[in-house]
Amino acid sequence: MAEALRLARRGLWTTEPNPRVGCVIAGAGKVLGRGWHERAGGPHAEVMALGDAGEAARGATAYVTLEPCSFYGRTPPCTNALSEAGIARVVCAMVDPHPRVAGQGLKQLHAAGIEVRSGLMQAEARELNPGFISRFERGRPWLRAKLAASLDGRSVGADGRSMWITDEPARVDGHRWRARAGAILTGIGTVLADDPGLDVRLPGYRATPVVVVVDSRARMPASARILSSGARVIHACVPTAGRSPEGCERLEIGPGDAGRVALGPLLDALAGYEINELHAEAGPTLSGALLVAGLVDELLVYQAPCTIGADGGAMLRLPGVEKLDRRLHFTVLECRKVGPDWRFRLSPVVA
């Protein structure tokens, strides 16, 4: 199963909106076939592994990181392929949260006379697909918010400039996290101040994540760079806002606090776009609002070994956290040096 999980990780940047899945066919004390799911519409991991194993798959065990699918979607069900190949036993790491599977795959395999087992290395399998699981278990994408700051917690200089606080290795690393997301979330403040492209600039990477702009009053200019980037752009506004510029899809969300787009319903709506992982690169207002609302699942903070001073712009604005005893707490999942900078991966502590 560890090998199947390793194979599944090859699909980190390519499988959206499908999950990352790996499969190993084993028997007689050796590996007979390996496979992984590369992209939506392509062969699933089980089919790839069965093709690699050939006739040797008959009577063997299939180790797969997610319950085999049991319905016709973009491809035929993997339960049929496993049964027809003569697999004797299927061990999956976790049950598929998709409501059209959700245990039905294991039931179909059992009915076909195949021994089934689930739960082996389940925690590792869930960690590999947080967005896919979140979309079906919670009805919203998994939200990862990325921030960059100086040692004194400033993300903008006193002169209004924010490019660049961190060094090149940290920026490349940030693009890798962008690449694994189904969509990039930003706010109109960032669009107006920085006019970002929000594309993924990595050698060999060709996919273009969706860009979601939270723009309550529809202030996005027609000249915004993201509108000519080739990305699908979703323009999230309140229903009473002005017109959206050409080149984007308008998504109307009822107002929440201060008449702005309600962020919880926005994330719920984005699940309907089959977005698994949502990667937020926004300014202090939107990033802070997401944190205070409890919508951030993971925080990615790049800290540069520099200081900017009190006249610089704060990394976050946190309404309602004015008193020390209201401060937000995090669990450090990982701390890693990236070039001269540090990257902290944090999980918000739920009170």
Indicate whether 270 and 319 sit together in one domain. yes
Q: Give the tens place of pLDDT for each residue, 3-22.
A: 999 999 999 998 989 999 99
Catalytic residue among 3, 16, 38, 46, which? 46
Tokens 């389940």 found at: 122
Instruction: Encode 309-321: b = buried (16+ Cβ within 10 Å), e = exposed.
Output: eeebbebbbbeee
Domain of residue 164: give its range: 133-348
Contact 196, 226 (CB under 8 A): yes
Contact 180, 277 (CB under 8 A): yes
Whole-number percent of the chain with pLDDT over 70: 99
Indicate whether 228 and 121 sit together in one domain. no
Indicate whether 341 and 294 sit together in one domain. yes
> In this structure, what are the phi and psi dihedrals at residue 339, rounded to the nearest 5 degrees?
60, -135
pLDDT at residue 187 greater than cutoff 70? yes
pLDDT at residue 113 greater than cutoff 70? yes
Residue 199 Rama label (left phi>0; alpha psi -120 to 50; beta)? beta
Of 84, 107, 128, the position where a domain reaches its end is 128
Q: What is the CATH number of the domain that holds 116?
A: 3.40.140.10
HSE, side-chain direction, 13 A CA sphere, residue 130: 13
pLDDT at residue 35 greater than cutoff 90? yes
Indicate whether 93 and 145 sit together in one domain. no
Of 110, 128, 146, the position where a domain reaches its end is 128
Q: How many domains does the chain have?
A: 2
Indicate whether 9 and 70 sit together in one domain. yes
22-27 β-sheet, strand order: 30-36, 22-27, 61-64, 89-92, 115-118
Tokens 């040096």 found at: 337
Residue 19: what pLDDT?
A: 95
What whole-number distance in Å separates Cα of residue 22 and Cα of residue 13?
14
Indicate whether 138 and 208 sit together in one domain. yes
Q: Give the tens place of pLDDT for each residue, 142-185.
A: 999 999 999 988 988 777 777 788 999 999 999 999 999 999 99
Q: Give the tens place of pLDDT for each residue, 58-108.
A: 999 999 999 998 877 677 789 999 999 999 999 999 999 998 888 999 999
Q: Give the tens place of pLDDT for each residue, 245-292.
A: 999 999 999 999 889 999 999 999 999 999 999 999 999 999 999 999
Indicate whether 277 and 304 sit together in one domain. yes
Of 97, 128, 159, the position where a domain reaches its end is 128
Q: What is the CATH number of the domain that holds 272?
A: 3.40.430.10
Indicate whether 20 and 33 sit together in one domain. yes
For the question of residue 46 being annotated catalytic, the response is yes
Indicate whether 48 and 137 sit together in one domain. no
Residue 73: what pLDDT?
A: 67
Average pLDDT, the chain: 92
136 pLDDT band, cuts 50/70/90, is very high
Indicate whether 114 and 209 sit together in one domain. no
134 pLDDT band, cuts 50/70/90, is very high
Residue 146: what pLDDT?
A: 96
Residue 321: what pLDDT?
A: 85
